[in-house]
A = this chain, B = another copy of it.
């Protein structure tokens, strides 16, 4: 049997220390789960816990050292992820204050903003919110309608909500606690310079709305009731010129606009790119919630028994049923894959956007930054959908018990549900991923001349003829669990889907083509490209480290289950494209079943590896109570044999 501590070290990764700190800090009783509170009480509780968090270092992790921060970007994400094992309202609320609100000031502001605001942001003396989304524009941030028009006489910006659909909507912190808002608005001088961020006071010290600011409450939500989401309307609200977060665009006193980035589109996307930590964090938080749900369901499935079976002297444990294994274990394997990919992503973020460097305005740019953004977008989409699906599977695997609040699964499901559409709608994010891949492909082809194109197309034909036989020959007969084969299949599939899509989209460039129609007709193909890409990224990230033989073998099986269950879900593609014979395809399914059977005895060990403190698994069905019930039951068995 493998060593739990060794697995924990693997799972914890580079920021193990931050995680251990969090485990200690958050074990304090007041960080226990919220229980049965109404909305107001839940908001108040989260607010109080947020103040506690400001005292334990959590709030300072991601900020520059010179203002009292700890300068640890990666640590700030790891700490955020740890909050994801508890009340997710607190996690999101902390993300709003120190990630979105504080992060925007740090990344988009300059020294004057940092000096003045960051210490108070960290200490929570200055609670804020991040007012980007509007009712009418969420995904298309570039076309927000709120305006900030410069008035050179007064040296002020006038912030305005031009019509109802331009109200800021779903803004975390706006309904109750925030005093200052980072407001995204079209910066208008004599002309429109596109979306920029502005600091707009929305409440005074007494909590009353500032003049010209109207504040609404979004009211009930599916979950995250401890987060006070609200709406904001601005009626010609005047703010000083200096309240523009002027890292990427500034307005002189006389109204002259200037920016280090000429092109408005590039400027806008550079600004957004500095905020990528939000997506990285959501992907990680989704992972924590998924892990909690799996820990609960796997433990329950281990002890809950139902139906007698011939040759068994006790009723069968749920997790001994293949269907139950199928519902939970491939999801468990993917959860491991996502954890490794998340670790890579956070490491890259940490390197490219160090807290001190970001505050200095070292705009991350270039290929690496674009790749980071694409990877964050892809992982966020896949991790959050995985959370929804897995928590749901866990809920159903626990039957009626899974529907009860006391067993946490309902809250986990409801709280994480919005993750698939906030911080970027998942479908929009996947399109970003695909766009990046297409751009890379085009760059790689370069400007082919006529002869080059003929050769390129000839290669394509040759590929089509040979790929089937060669791939089948290379990989068609070996071990189904072979990691190299899985990698080759994933890479080959991605390449094929990318090339096919590029060909389809080329039509958009033809004369008289309806470019939108061409793109739209291929939208499922676009999403598919992004998905197969992320699946490949996950498999590559799942590097089994140098550990004891037992653990290595176990993790290799987990990885094989991730790979094969992913292949199984897309068997139609592998069959339809001659990558697999029907008989081998059947063996994919039977090997997934075998792996489920082999991993079943290790399932509890694998969820223990998540390192969720026992106190936090605050669900009766996860805490051995069921075991006691069952034991009690069997002492009565003799009384119930049907005569």
Q: A residues bordering B, Cβ < 8 Å?
A: 36, 38, 133, 135-140, 142-143, 145, 147, 162-166, 169-170, 186, 191-194, 218-223, 264, 306-312, 315-316, 320-323, 326, 388, 392, 395-396, 399-406, 409-410, 413-414, 417-418, 420-422, 425-427, 514-516, 520-521, 523-524, 527, 571-572, 575-578, 582, 585-586, 589, 593, 628-630, 632-633, 635-636, 639-643
Contacts and interface: CB of A to CB of B under 8 A. Distances in A.
Contacts of A425: 396, 399
The 6 closest A-B pairs by CB, nearest first: A220-B405, A222-B410, A191-B643, A571-B572, A165-B629, A309-B516
Contact of A427 (B135, B323, B400, B524): B323
A639 B142 CA distance: 14
Contact of A306 (B137, B145, B582, B630): B137
A170 to B, nearest CB: 4
Contact of A194 (B191, B593, B642): B642
B145 A642 contact: no
Nearest to A592: B524
Contact of A629 (B164, B311, B418): B164
Contacts of A630: 136, 165
Specify which of A219, A421, A635 lies most central, judged by the most chain B CB atoms within 10 Å of its CB: A421
A36 B516 CA distance: 43
B400 A169 contact: yes
Nearest to A389: B392
A425 B630 CA distance: 20
Contacts of A418: 400, 403
12 contacts: A38-B38, A138-B400, A142-B642, A145-B636, A164-B632, A169-B400, A222-B413, A322-B521, A399-B421, A571-B572, A571-B576, A572-B575
A316 B320 CA distance: 50
Contacts of A142: 642
A516 B310 contact: yes
B516 A316 contact: yes
A180 to B, nearest CB: 22
Given A192-B641, A515-B311, A585-B576, A163 B635 contact: yes
A325 to B, nearest CB: 9
Contacts of A36: 219-220
A148 B413 CA distance: 39
B629 A136 contact: yes
A561 to B, nearest CB: 14
Contacts of A316: 516
Contacts of A308: 143
Given A191-B643, A524-B589, 17 more contacts: A36-B219, A139-B306, A140-B315, A162-B639, A165-B633, A169-B400, A170-B400, A186-B642, A192-B639, A194-B642, A218-B404, A222-B405, A222-B409, A322-B521, A323-B524, A396-B421, A577-B582
Nearest to A320: B520
